[in-house]
Amino acid sequence: MNAVASRSRRSVLAVPASNPRFIEKARGLDTDAFFLDLEDAVAPLEKEAARQTVVAALNEGGWDGRVRTVRVNDATTAWAYRDVITVVEGAGANLDCLVLPKVSDPSHVLWLDTLLTQIERSVGLEVGRIGIEAQIEDARGLTRVNEIAAASPRVETLVYGPADFMASINMKTLVVGEQPPGYDPGDAYHYVLMRILMAARAHDLQAIDGPYLKIRDVEAFTRSARRTAALGFDGKWVLHPAQVAAANEVYAPTQEDYDHAELVLDAYEYATTVRRRGAVMLGDEMLDEASRKMALVVAAKGRAAGMKRTREFVPEQE
Ligand code: GLV
Ligand code: MG
């Protein structure tokens, strides 16, 4: 099964690892995934203590069904190697992926892959089970995004990091996720988003949109999420409980689209196997192999999000 179909990541909750109150609150939120953050949400003097908080939070559990991830510090920092060793040695069995921020070169991913393999061998964890989510957050990372996507079979998602990215290219705005004033007619992020999406799809990875920082404006969050969902992104970071329901809704298919996709798959399967035809009618719509592929994407996202179909396929009598 490809990565798009395998785990739902409509909403990915950011949780500062130095704040036990936020961690406790995160357990009760209905997100598909979360990451305990050791990077930019944690002050340098708190980073060491936060590692232990992360280990305890993962081992205590209470994360039922969610994708459990930790964001370590980036590969160029003094913290990174000890973040990985402490978290994976201490709680590797209760961890699904590590988020690696500021990936500007494929060697960052190779470094993490190698270190993970060493730790897995050392403590007896299954080698290769822990995945990598690579954050693309600057111009260098974007220019090498294809190589980053291909750098290790552990890479499971590419994540757009708008705040760092906007800073990296000197974008003239301080509002993360919004269009820079003066660029009204277009979408200033289209090129970046599309490059990340193409690299993700070319390597069978998920593409995740980053945070929207004005956390109380749910309407603006929803508008920003709709744009990337429309392109094909699989989910978005959420920073506040108010953003969760919006992300879950925006990145899932509508019930109508989900039902339709399942019907297309059934009708096509019936036509090609039972009736041995390559093109088939479903109501007044003609279906072929390309329709099946499109339906597969929508059905996979719906199934991963736990949706149930409300219509069954009934073959038409000939
Ligand atoms: C996230 O890490 C961002 O920089 O937007
Ligand atoms: Mg960042």
Query: How many of the other CB atoms lie within 10 Å of CB of 281?
Result: 12
pLDDT exceeds cutoff 80 at 82? yes
pLDDT at 79: 98
Max avg pLDDT among 86-90, 170-174, 263-267? 86-90
Q: Taking a C-beta distance cutoff of 8 angstroms, is the pair 44, 73 a contact?
A: no
Mutate which of 13, 100, 103, 135 for ligand 1? The one with the most ligand atoms within 8 Å of its CB, which is 135
pLDDT exceeds cutoff 60 at 2? no
Report strand pairing: 11-16 vs 285-287. unpaired
pLDDT at 1: 41
- State the closest ligand 1 atom to the C-alpha of 211, by its place in the atom list counted from 1: 5
Query: What's the whole-number mean pLDDT along residues 45-49?
Result: 96
pLDDT exceeds cutoff 80 at 211? yes
Q: From the CA atom positions of the chain, what is the Rg in Å?
A: 21
> Which residue, by CA, sits nearest to atom 3 of ligand 1?
161
Query: What's the whole-number mean pLDDT along residues 269-281?
Result: 84
pLDDT exceeds cutoff 90 at 279? no
The predicted-structure confidence for 69-81, as pLDDT tens digits, reads as follows 999 999 999 999 9
- What percentage of the chain exceeds 90 in pLDDT? 79
* Helix or strand holding residue 159 (H, E): strand 155-160
At which residue do the structure tokens 């798959």 appear?
265
At which residue do the structure tokens 């820079």 appear?
180
Q: 11-250, what's its fold?
A: TIM Barrel (3.20.20)
pLDDT exceeds cutoff 90 at 183? no
Q: Which residues pair with 158 in a beta bridge?
A: 134, 207
Cα–Cα dist 245/294, whole Å? 25
Largest alpha-carbon pair distance within the chain? 73
Return the DSSP state at 19. -
How does residue 23 score in pLDDT terms, banded at 50, 70 and 90?
A: very high
Query: What's the whole-number mean pLDDT along residues 120-145?
Result: 98
Cα–Cα dist 70/89, whole Å? 13
- Identify the nearest ligand to the CA of 189 by its number: 1
Residues 6+ apart with CB under 8 A from 223: none
Q: Is the CB of 137 under 6 A from ligand 1?
A: yes
> Which residue, by CA, sits nearest to atom 1 of ligand 1?
161
Mean pLDDT of the chain, nearest integer:
93
Cα 280 to the center of its chain, rounded Å = 35
139-to-113, 171, 198 alpha-carbon distances in Å: 23, 12, 16
Cα–Cα dist 155/97, whole Å? 9
| Stronger pLDDT, 26 or 272, i.e. the higher one | 26
Report strand pairing: 97-100 vs 67-71. parallel
How does residue 172 score in pLDDT terms, banded at 50, 70 and 90?
A: confident
| Stronger pLDDT, 187 or 238, i.e. the higher one | 238
The backbone region for 188, taken as left when phi is positive above 0, alpha when psi lies in -120 to 50, beta otherwise, is alpha
pLDDT at 317: 65
- State the closest ligand 1 atom to the C-alpha of 176, by its place in the atom list counted from 1: 5
Mutate which of 71, 137, 158, 192 for ligand 1? The one with the most ligand atoms within 8 Å of its CB, which is 137
pLDDT exceeds cutoff 70 at 243? yes
Q: Each residue of 127-165: b (16+ CB within 10 Å) or e?
A: eeebbbbbbbbbeebbebbeebbebbebbbbbbbbbebb
Q: Taking a C-beta distance cutoff of 8 angstroms, is the pair 255, 208 a contact?
A: no
At which residue do the structure tokens 């260098």 appear?
140
- State the closest ligand 1 atom to the C-alpha of 210, by its place in the atom list counted from 1: 5
Closest CA to 155 of 139, 144, 165, 166: 144
Domain with CATH 3.20.20.60 in the chain: 11-250
Three-state secondary-structure class, residue 15: strand
pLDDT at 3: 54
Cα–Cα dist 288/110, whole Å? 41
User: Global pTM?
Assistant: 0.91
